[in-house]
Structure 1
Amino acid sequence: MNEAGNQFTPANKLELMAREPYQAMPQESVTMGFDSKQGFELMQRGATLLSKSTLVPKEYQDNLPNCVVALNMASRIRADPMMVMQNLYIVHNKPSWSAQFVIACFNQCGRFSAMKFRWANRPADPDSIPDNWACQAYATELATGDEISGPTITIKMAKKEGWYGKSGSKWQTIPELMLMYRAGAWLQRTHAPDISMGLRTAEEESDIIESRRTDQGTFVADAQAKTETRVIDKMDILANKEQATNKPPAANDVAEQAEDKPAEANDDDSKAPTMSELIKGIKAAKDVDHIAELLDLARGIKRQDWRDKVMEAGRIRLKEMLPNTEIGVGHRPAPVADAVGAGDSSLFGDD
């Protein structure tokens, strides 16, 4: 019965339902993550969808675990998953960000003004790179109005840390951009490490660890990569070594002379391997470290044509062991800049 004492009938029940629309029970929203079963299932569904896309980088295609990791990182930093996938690199099995992504996140976090850069001793000639060329990133903290600045990055620092002299180093070809990337990354890490979750940039990891970038855009960095670089450099040294005082023999010289000639002829009749022994050792080598040792011994060979034979054997064997590595010729020494003059303590005094 209702308040007026009338009994409910099917007709007035329908009328009551028409006057009072049905209100659904509120549902709790589910957030992707590992902290709940629903969140984990939602993350798996999203990762499955992304892994089937041809627009994501190759390291995520048909790779559900990688997509789950990317979604988790995107959730933690509140970024778009696709943007995270495009800017997350794996170097030495460690995730790392691209430098431009770190700078972009810093600019859009809402806590600081846009990042800016100040320079000192910028060269007028791009081919002349002074050691005291310096860059510093800075910004304004919006809550307090204070200026914050990161560590000063110089070419001298890059050389001392070993970044500049590495084979294929971008510090030699685009030093201005590398200075900005490193200065920006270090400003973010010192004043807002939560933005990158403490991860270094891919450029930093590549500078710190001997690595190479594959055709898929990922970085390969391991002990073998370091040895590969060392072996290739040794082959370059052999290729560019000056001709010895003894000229190459005539075409009709017998090959037996080369086989019986030791790699180094010392007064104490050292047991240096012959050219043929070095070549046999290279052909039987099981790893690139062994090849590197044999190439070291080949540097003592006096005649250029014998060194060339050892180098060619090393190139062939190395190509068999590392089919995806380009084995070239030509040593790549790092350019030597003039020493830093006085005035390092006031790098930004006039800028």
Structure 2
Amino acid sequence: MNVQAQITHSAAPVGLLNLESFELSQRIAKMLSSSTLVPEQYRATTKVKAGKDNFGNWIYKDEPNPNGLANCVIALNMANRMGADPLMVMQNLYLIEGRPAWSSQFIMASINNSGRFSALRFDIVDLGEKEVEYSTTEWSNGRKNTVVKTIKIHDISCVAHAIERETGERIESSKITIEMAVKEGWFTKNGSKWQTMPEQMLRYRAASFFGRVYAPELLMGLRSADEEQDRIIDVTPAAEQAATATSVNQFDFKQLKRDILTAKSPDQLQKLEIFIEEHSNEDEQKELVKLMQAQINKLTVVAEEPNAKKPEPQIEATSTAAAVEEKPKRTVKKTIEEEPEKYQSLLSDLIERAKNAKTEKEATVLTKYTNSWSAEQRAPLHDAIKNRIAELNVDQPVDDEKPLLEQIQEAPSIEVLDELLKQARRFTGEKGHIHMTAWSARKEFLNQGDIFDSLDAEQQEDNLTLCGQIVKSIQACKTQEEINKIFEDPKLSELIPEEQALVNAAADRREAEITG
């Protein structure tokens, strides 16, 4: 009796629907999650970047993976239902935007091992060269436009076929051609293997179509990884193109301009050359090149001046006597009134940054660059800041008249996007997948904007630290000579023009206080 009970207990299958099966699944999954032979999403720990060593190589550290054990249990359940080896399922199951998908090799192996068909075979036919028209979406001035293009291809067709053992009938998949790949958008996407290995991709896609029609139960309703990736690119071009257009046309120019102005050495400027060359707007590119050349000349002169002015040890006494007779002269400061072109350029840049500010703090912090300006000169910037703050404080309701997909793709913030998530989850099937994919793409884009903003704020804080120290030192000066000595410090050359204006204004105020 006990022996029979033990045998029955040991034969409990892996599953999720009863306690014994679930406990057995967890024990096996825990063992698998500790293995290094399974893909990373199934492991108990994952490796994350923890910085670089002295040689510039990435250093990784282990962090717990809360999803590893659960993923292993699900993979075990799928392997049990399919009668397949769990490790084979894990190695061939890909997760693409939250949806599992099989590798193409696994689909072909499952069909061949099912016993229902003969081995898959493929008929390849060369159809010759032809020109194919296809539609693509392009962005111009922030608007989406559908453009019809023509491409010359060498067309090939492929049909997967096998003999059904039960009936002896030859069954075939749909015909897959290079022309179809072009029109569906598989061929023209960036990094597409349809361009480098077309015959192999034709076989993979034909096998996937064959399995979905004649043996969907073998694949458990899942597509191939290649199909899933192609579908994601097809349903979210707007979010991707909008992200590209926004980052390249609006953000990159300002960011590159700030990077050039804050560079502390010619080497740092040389690293920015590749980004300037890839900039899409020719006028902005010319302006960046001109600005970078001026900054290189400035840094080169600053680097040479300390060596030219270094005192010789032999004439130390003479230098001291000359210093007593002649007061050191402070660096000549140029006020903003003396440089109207510089004022207009800086004002335009600050107004543009105010209009694009995402928070009230980001808008108001721009006033720190105008301490040396008159009230009349500050007025245009203050008006722009007030208008932007008013826009940010207005709670813009979601336009219910627009389709939900458009609302997701045009969501202005993560908060609005989270509100739309509840509506997107109401859809099921293909429509639900399209909405969730668009939601994920938009959220990733908005998160990237937050990252850039935080990086920009940190960079400004670093620069303001040095500027603040110099201003504080000037405010503590008791004589004109102490102020002049501060202006001889080579650190002043590290400040950007706006911060140099702050230092000059602080010196003027302190000089007025000293002289009464």
TM bucket (normalised to shorter chain) is 0.5 to 0.7
The whole-number CA distance in structure 2 between the counterparts of 1:321 and 1:46 is 45
Return 112-121 or 78-87, whichever deviates more: 112-121
Determine the structure 2 residue equivalent to 1:320.
Answer: 452
Q: Secondary structure, in 3 states, of the residue corresponding to 2:14?
A: coil
User: Could you say if the C-alpha distance between residues 282 and 201 of structure 1 is closer, same or farther in structure 2, counting changes exceeding 3 Å?
Assistant: farther
User: Could you say if the C-alpha distance between residues 284 and 120 of structure 1 is closer, same or farther in structure 2, counting changes exceeding 3 Å?
Assistant: same
Determine the structure 2 residue equivalent to 1:187.
Answer: 210
The whole-number CA distance in structure 1 between the counterparts of 2:249 and 2:43 is 41
**TM-fit CA distance, 1:114:** 1.3
Determine the structure 1 residue equivalent to 2:171.
Answer: 148
Matched-pair contact (CA < 8 Å) for 1:231–1:288:
no
Question: Given residue 106 of structure 1, which amino acid in structure 2 is its aligned partner?
Answer: I
The whole-number CA distance in structure 2 between the counterparts of 1:235 and 1:187 is 42
Determine the structure 2 residue equivalent to 1:266.
Answer: none
The whole-number CA distance in structure 2 between the counterparts of 1:23 and 1:151 is 57
The whole-number CA distance in structure 1 between the counterparts of 2:200 and 2:103 is 13
Question: Given residue 177 of structure 1, which amino acid in structure 2 is its aligned partner?
Answer: Q
Q: Does 1:33 align with 2:15?
A: yes
Give runs of aligned pairs for residues 258-273 of structure 1, distance below 5 A. Answer: 258=345
Return 135-144 or 181-190, whichever deviates more: 135-144
Question: Given residue 320 of structure 1, which amino acid in structure 2 is its aligned partner?
Answer: F
Question: Given residue 38 of structure 1, which amino acid in structure 2 is its aligned partner?
Answer: E
Determine the structure 2 residue equivalent to 1:139.
Answer: 162
Q: Secondary structure, in 3 states, of the residue corresponding to 1:95?
A: strand
**TM-fit CA distance, 1:73:** 0.5
Determine the structure 2 residue equivalent to 1:306.
Answer: none
The whole-number CA distance in structure 1 between the counterparts of 2:43 and 2:31 is 10
Return 22-31 or 186-195, whichever deviates more: 22-31
Determine the structure 2 residue equivalent to 1:167.
Answer: 190
The whole-number CA distance in structure 2 between the counterparts of 1:319 and 1:166 is 27
Q: Secondary structure, in 3 states, of the residue corresponding to 1:25?
A: helix
Bigger proportion of residues as strand: 2
The whole-number CA distance in structure 2 between the counterparts of 1:39 and 1:75 is 11
Matched-pair contact (CA < 8 Å) for 1:132–1:154:
yes
Q: CA RMSD in A?
A: 4.1
Determine the structure 2 residue equivalent to 1:95.
Answer: 100
Q: Does 1:45 align with 2:27?
A: yes
Question: Given residue 197 of structure 2, which amino acid in structure 1 is its aligned partner?
Answer: I
Unaligned stretches of 5+ residues in structure 1: 1-21, 212-221, 261-273, 292-315, 324-351
Matched-pair contact (CA < 8 Å) for 1:88–1:96:
yes
Question: Given residue 130 of structure 1, which amino acid in structure 2 is its aligned partner?
Answer: I
The whole-number CA distance in structure 2 between the counterparts of 1:116 and 1:155 is 19
Residues 236-295 of structure 1: CA distance to partner in whole angstroms, max 9, x if unpaired?
A: 689464746x975976894445456xxxxxxxxxxxxx655445556748999769xxxx
Determine the structure 1 residue equivalent to 2:83.
Answer: 78
User: Could you say if the C-alpha distance between residues 248 and 33 of structure 1 is closer, same or farther in structure 2, counting changes exceeding 3 Å?
Assistant: closer
Q: Secondary structure, in 3 states, of the residue corresponding to 1:209?
A: helix
Question: Given residue 56 of structure 1, which amino acid in structure 2 is its aligned partner?
Answer: V
- What TM-score results when the alignment is normalised by the length of structure 1? 0.60
**TM-fit CA distance, 1:80:** 0.3
Determine the structure 1 residue equivalent to 2:243.
Answer: 231
User: Could you say if the C-alpha distance between residues 132 and 319 of structure 1 is closer, same or farther in structure 2, counting changes exceeding 3 Å?
Assistant: farther
Q: Secondary structure, in 3 states, of the residue corresponding to 2:101?
A: strand
Question: Given residue 204 of structure 1, which amino acid in structure 2 is its aligned partner?
Answer: E
User: Could you say if the C-alpha distance between residues 208 and 59 of structure 1 is closer, same or farther in structure 2, counting changes exceeding 3 Å?
Assistant: same
Give runs of aligned pairs for residues 1-80 of structure 1, distance below 5 A. Answer: 24-25=3-4, 27-28=7-8, 29-62=11-44, 63-80=68-85
Number of residue-to-residue matches in the alignment: 252
User: Could you say if the C-alpha distance between residues 144 and 227 of structure 1 is closer, same or farther in structure 2, counting changes exceeding 3 Å?
Assistant: same
The whole-number CA distance in structure 2 between the counterparts of 1:23 and 1:248 is 87
Among 177, 185, 197, which residue is 2:200 paired with? Answer: 177
Q: Secondary structure, in 3 states, of the residue corresponding to 1:85?
A: helix
Question: Given residue 227 of structure 1, which amino acid in structure 2 is its aligned partner?
Answer: A
User: Could you say if the C-alpha distance between residues 83 and 247 of structure 1 is closer, same or farther in structure 2, counting changes exceeding 3 Å?
Assistant: closer
- What TM-score results when the alignment is normalised by the length of structure 2? 0.42
Residues 143-169 of structure 1: CA distance to partner in whole angstroms, max 9, x if unpaired?
A: 222111111112222222222232333
Matched-pair contact (CA < 8 Å) for 1:43–1:68:
yes
**TM-fit CA distance, 1:229:** 5.6
Question: Given residue 232 of structure 1, which amino acid in structure 2 is its aligned partner?
Answer: T
Q: Secondary structure, in 3 states, of the residue corresponding to 1:210?
A: helix
Matched-pair contact (CA < 8 Å) for 1:283–1:317:
no
Share of identical aligned residues, percent?
37
